[in-house]
Structure 1
Amino acid sequence: MPALQIFDPALCCSSGVCGQDIDAQLVQAAADIDWAQRQGAAIERFNLAQQPLAFAQHEAVRGFLERSGQEALPITLLDGQVVLAGRYPSRQQLAQWGGLKAVDAGGASCCSGGKCC
């Protein structure tokens, strides 16, 4: 199974969905990442504020930060290679890169099998 790693900018908590000024992009990213993980995707997230050593120890991430700076985060790696920078992956990208079944443009239904509850 493909391995996805997301290197977040410095966030107040592991998801970034906390505090009083919640960024709508972080809310969507957290929901999409949670969805992909529940579907079986292997996704790791690293927060610059809480796990700076992970950024320093990963050669591709370290080089990216040296060239582009922290302002260019987040960065997404697929099997150790940079596939996206500057924004979070969409649900469709997570499905594709995570080896999951494709999702429709409207997102997943709240009920299994697309049937109403």
Structure 2
Amino acid sequence: MSKVEIFEPAMCCSTGVCGPGVDPELLRIATFISELEGMGKKIVRYNLSSAPEAFVQNIKVNDALINVGMGALPITVVDDEIKKMGDYPANSDLATWAGMTREDIIEMIKKSQSSSGCEGCGGGNCC
């Protein structure tokens, strides 16, 4: 499994539920990372306000912030290489970088659908 790290802008919480409006992108990433962790995968998230030393210690992230500015965040680093800047990665990318196989991903989707009550919806838009 690759080492996956996400360097995020300063915020009060990792879910985006801490302000007046919920950021759906933060909710998506927090939920998906939680699902991956439930499967034994590890993705490390660094928040600029709570772990600024991680931003300084990672030379590539530090350089990106100096050269691009805060707009570079979030930055996703996989095995010490920047893979994505300015946006969170897609779930499929995270799953791949976390070492999941296609079969693992399909199984995770099936479990997610069965636990959310999506089975038997007849192919409608309920899922």
TM-score by length of 1: 0.84
In 1, are the aligned partners of 2:6 and 2:44 still within 8 Å (CA)?
yes
* Cα distance in 1, alignment partners of residues 49 and 17 from structure 2: 14
Q: Percent identity of the aligned residues? A: 38
In 2, are the aligned partners of 1:74 and 1:88 still within 8 Å (CA)?
yes
Aligned residues: 113
* Cα distance in 2, alignment partners of residues 76 and 6 from structure 1: 4
Structure 2 stretches lacking a partner, 5+ long: 120-127
* Cα distance in 2, alignment partners of residues 91 and 37 from structure 1: 13
Instruction: Calculate the aligned-residue CA RMSD, in Å.
Output: 2.1
Which structure: greater helix fraction? 2
From the CA coordinates, give the structure whose radius of gyration is larger.
2
Q: How does 1:29-68 map to 2 (within 5 A)?
A: 29-68=29-68
SS at match of 2:82: strand
TM-score by length of 2: 0.78
After superposition, the Cα gap between the structure-2 partners of 1:6 and 1:82, relative to the gap in structure 1 and judged at 3 Å, is: same
Deviation at 1:72, TM superposition (A): 1.8
* Cα distance in 1, alignment partners of residues 93 and 14 from structure 2: 21
Structure 1 stretches lacking a partner, 5+ long: none
1:74-109 per-residue CA deviation (whole Å, 9 max, x = no partner) reads 0000011101111111211111111013335xx453
After superposition, the Cα gap between the structure-2 partners of 1:100 and 1:91, relative to the gap in structure 1 and judged at 3 Å, is: same
| One-letter amino acid of the counterpart of residue 61, structure 1 | V
* Cα distance in 2, alignment partners of residues 60 and 17 from structure 1: 29
Which runs of at least 4 in structure 1 moved beyond 6 Å after TM superposition?
none
